Amino acid sequence: MGANVSRNSFDYKNIEIVPVIAGFDENGKVIPIYVKIQGKKLKVTEFWVKSKFAGISEYHCKIMNGDTEFPLVLSYYNEESLWVIPHR
């Protein structure tokens, strides 16, 4: 019987790594500003953070695409400094 081995926390078929432009608030917490999905730069207009597991934060965001605002969940992997979204 075979087994799958994951070499890192983001090695999973149901997530996609995305580039994010982020900053920091006055307390040093990470703030997502823009996310690039399918080559399109989208503005993060609002968010709230939920700690999912040790080292992973889940950002529940509102994203602007032109005149349309839609929800998006971004996960941030602290150890790897990676942002991911659910695979579409």
pLDDT tens string, the chain, 88 residues long: the values are 444 444 555 556 688 999 999 999 999 989 999 999 999 999 999 999 987 778 889 999 999 999 999 999 999 988 888 999 988 6
* Residue in the block written with tokens 């997502």: 32
> What phi and psi, each to the nearest 5 degrees, are found at residue 55?
85, 0
Size of the chain in residues: 88
73-29-75 Cα angle (round to 5): 20
- Do residues 58 and 34 lie in contact, with contact meaning Cβ atoms separated by under 8 Å? no
Gap between the Cα atoms of 25 and 10, Å rounded: 26
